[in-house]
Amino acid sequence: MRLVLMGPPGAGKGTQAVGIAAALGIPHISTGDIFRANVSQGTALGIEAKRYMDAGEYVPDGVTNAMVRDRISHDDARPGFLLDGYPRTIEQVAELDSMLASDGYKLTKALELTVNVDEVVSRLVRRAAEQGRADDNENVIRRRLEVYFAQTAPLTALYAQRGILQQIDGMGTVDEVGLRIMAALA
Ligand code: ADP
């Protein structure tokens, strides 16, 4: 299973990805988590990424693509993986295709969590209060959503054309959404 999980910031991708990856026995690869780990360790990648993340902008494709290429080449990703938060641009879609094709693979499915935008904003504001993520303040949240709807949401059409897009209603409890995802993968 080579899966991507898409959906706007606050759709619950991270939460659901942990459960899906565990159920399928594949690694959960979150570009946002990898960037945040680099930021907290103060690596060169983290210092570069932080400037963009704090503004709600995407990290440049060159940086992100190289990081994903490296990560999916690890042994644990050989049986498959669940990408969370990647691809987000058309260049990333193309790059992922070529990473997979060079090993003779294709994406199995693209899962898109659909949510109500007002609900997403209130989830993110709540998360800001609970976890204090640097990019969870209201202006940056709005910018992240804007960037998502302008640059990433349209990419789902590419996966729909290939017949691998599966849209899942992301509203409801964590368990309800998780069951819908597992049903979509069955
Ligand atoms: P969210 O989906 O809630 O915005 P993420 O944790 O997935 O949160 O991402 C946080 C930030 O990390 C993004 O706003 C962006 O700056 C950066 N980032 C994550 N994934 C990518 C990607 N595929 N391409 C470019 N930037 C990314």
Q: Domain total for the chain? A: 1
The ligand 1 atom at the shortest distance from the C-alpha of residue 124 is: 3
What pLDDT, in 10s, does the model give residues 71-100?
Answer: 999 999 999 999 999 999 999 999 999 999
Neighbours of 87 (CB within 10 A): 26
Contact yes or no for 53/134 (Cβ under 8 A): yes
Residue 88 is among the residues annotated as catalytic for this protein = yes
* pLDDT at residue 134 in the model: 76
- For all residues of the chain together, what is the average pLDDT? 93
31: which 2 tokens? Answer: 């570009």
Atom 1 (ligand 1) nearest CA: 9
Query: What one-character DSSP code corresponds to residue 167?
Result: E
Residue 118 is predicted with a pLDDT of 87
Alpha-helical (H) ranges within the chain are: 13-24, 31-41, 44-53, 61-72, 90-101, 117-131, 138-147, 156-162, 174-185
pLDDT tens column, 33-54: 999 999 999 999 999 999 999 9
Residue 139 has pLDDT above 90, yes or no: no
Q: What was the pLDDT predicted at 159?
A: 97
* pLDDT tier for residue 117 given thresholds of 50, 70 and 90: confident
148 lines ligand 1 (CB under 6 A): no
* Catalytic position from the list 69, 71, 109, 133: 133
> Known catalytic residue: 144?
yes
Classify residue 61 as exposed, middle or buried by CB count within 10 Å of its CB (0-12, 13-18, 19+). Answer: middle
Residue 15 has pLDDT above 90, yes or no: yes
Alpha carbon distance 109, 123 (integer Å): 26
Assign 52 to helix, strand or coil: helix
Exactly one of 2, 36, 50, 144 is catalytic; name it: 144
| Gap from CA of 32 to ligand 1 centroid (Å) | 5
Give pLDDT, residue 66.
94
Q: Which of 2, 50, 88, 180 is catalytic?
A: 88
**Backbone phi, psi, residue 94, to 5°:** -65, -40
**Structural domain harbouring 169:** 2-185
Could you give phi then psi for residue 26, rounded to 5 degrees? -125, 155
Ligand 1 neighbour 144 (Cβ under 6 A): yes
What is the pLDDT confidence band of residue 136, given thresholds at 50, 70 and 90? confident
- Which CATH number belongs to the domain containing residue 151 in this structure? 3.40.50.300
Res 107 pLDDT > 90: yes
Q: Is 59 in the pocket of ligand 1 (CB under 6 A)?
A: yes
Which own/partner pairs from 15-20 qualify as long-range (CB within 8 Å, at least 24 positions apart)? 15/174, 16/113, 16/174, 16/177, 16/178, 16/181, 17/82, 17/84, 19/174, 19/178, 19/181, 20/82, 20/178, 20/181, 20/182, 20/185
